[in-house]
């Protein structure tokens, strides 16, 4: 097992996001942008984990989650966690929560930047 660093970050469900930009406007450090009509966390390193982007969303498309990443531990909320990527049987962990799974896959733009969502709330 190894230690992974997780940061408390907003994760967007692309199926629910309408691209209204309310979250973008609420974000002080401008960590979010609208890309192809969907909110994307383009600068997770600047996010202060303050959750100002959550309440303005009219469709509850954006939720906070612990996301594996590296970066400045003085900016935002962080925690360290032992990385358990496999079950006792040696098989990769299955997603049991459909919405969580959709958020992981739906936020593929964020994943493309190297983000790895561990869990929600």
4 vs 104 by CB, closer to ligand SF4: 104
- How far, in Å, are 25, 30, 31, 76, 101 from residue 51 at the CA level? 13, 13, 12, 10, 21
Q: With binding defined as CB under 6 A, does residue 30 bind ligand SF4?
A: no
Residue ranges in 57-96 that form contacts with ligand SF4 under rule CB under 6 A: 57, 59, 61-62
* Beta carbon nearer to ligand SF4, 26 or 71: 26
Candidates 35, 36, 46, 62; CA nearest to 121 is 62
CB of 6 to ligand SF4, least distance (A): 21
Name the residue among 5, 11, 27, 4 with its Cα closest to residue 105. 11
Enumerate binding residues for ligand SF4 (CB under 6 A).
12, 17-23, 39, 56-57, 59, 61-62
């Amino acid at each position: 097992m190894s230690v992974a660093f997780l940061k408390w970050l907003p994760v967007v469900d692309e199926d629910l996001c309408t691209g209204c930009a309310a979250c973008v406007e609420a974000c002080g450090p401008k960590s979010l942008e609208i890309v192809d009509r969907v909110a994307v966390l383009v600068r997770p390193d600047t996010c202060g984990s303050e959750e100002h982007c959550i309440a303005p969303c009219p469709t509850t498309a954006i939720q906070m989650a612990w996301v594996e990443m590296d970066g400045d531990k003085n900016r935002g909320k962080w925690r360290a966690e032992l990385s358990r990527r496999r079950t006792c049987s040696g098989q990769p962990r299955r997603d049991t929560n459909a919405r969580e799974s959709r958020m992981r896959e739906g936020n593929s733009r964020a994943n493309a930047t190297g983000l790895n969502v561990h869990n929600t709330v």
